[in-house]
Structure 1
Amino acid sequence: MNESSKTHFEKEYTKLLVIYLGLLFGLISFSLVLILLLVDPDSVRDPEMNELFQLIVPIVLVTAISAGIFLSKKAIAQSIHASSDAAKLRSYTGFKILQLGLLDAAILFSNVVYLLTSNTYFIYLSMAALLYYLSLFPIKQKISRLLNLEASSDFPAKL
């Protein structure tokens, strides 16, 4: 891998890392505000709405996680066949941002339902999904290995 490819990799990685950390900060801060805001979280406001959301929220979370896994696999498959390293990185970054956005939206939905219903079940679901979100942390070596970017022996060791 030449020097311009390494520079491009650094730029794409930095962009992905900033987006990941920004979304993570938003999720954690919103969740903490909700937890601290609701003084009596066990008082369910609307039992009918609570029952409906107990079905909808897990479906939304599982769908977001499944779609994210599917998109991640598709991104890797498409990126491997790209002609240049820059094209591989652009494709992978785009799909990864989409995966993070889907999961972020599902977690926020769970948080808002917690705010509406005051049922701690929804914040627990949100925290479980947040743990999965943490597992999606972009690691340089993993990205370069997945996209077959290790063309020289010193890559990504110098990154």
Structure 2
Amino acid sequence: MSTTPSKPSGGNGGNTLRIVLFAVLGLLLIGLAYDYLVARPGVDAAYDKIAARSVELNKLPDTYFTNSDVQELLGKQPSRTFEDSNGELVEVFSWRSGLPIKTHDLFAVYKPSDGKMLFNRHAKFAYESSNDVSIYAGETIVLTDEGPTTPPGMGGGGSR
């Protein structure tokens, strides 16, 4: 009786698994590179564009920076909008991240005035409501010698 060595079963399957794992690892590395080299810098650049334009327009009298100006400046439409707790309009501009299920967001906040939505502030990556940003958000404030006060009957947001 002669004994011949037999090939171990599944020897080729190990190579296939290794190739699949390296392909997944390669895709994840490409996604990570895209996230840090394209998506995040895109949000940072848009944030800086808005800040520079806002400063430029604030120097000019009778000039307004509206939501349509921001959209034109960025060259894109917001991916979604919502209203903050004090009635401000928030437009969310999104950049796809390295993972298909995630985005990096820029939030532009506007105050309504005479039928226009005037730029108020912006944030990148995470949104903070007006109440988180300022203790005076939504309140009418009068500056006096004693400091800022809320006039009686003006519907301030309460004491803090």
Report if TM-score (shorter chain) is over 0.5. no
* Higher RCO by CA contacts (8 Å cutoff, separation 6 or greater): 1
More strand by share: 2
Q: TM-score, normalised by structure 2?
A: 0.37
Q: TM-score, normalised by structure 1?
A: 0.37
More helix by share: 1
Larger Rg over CA atoms: 2
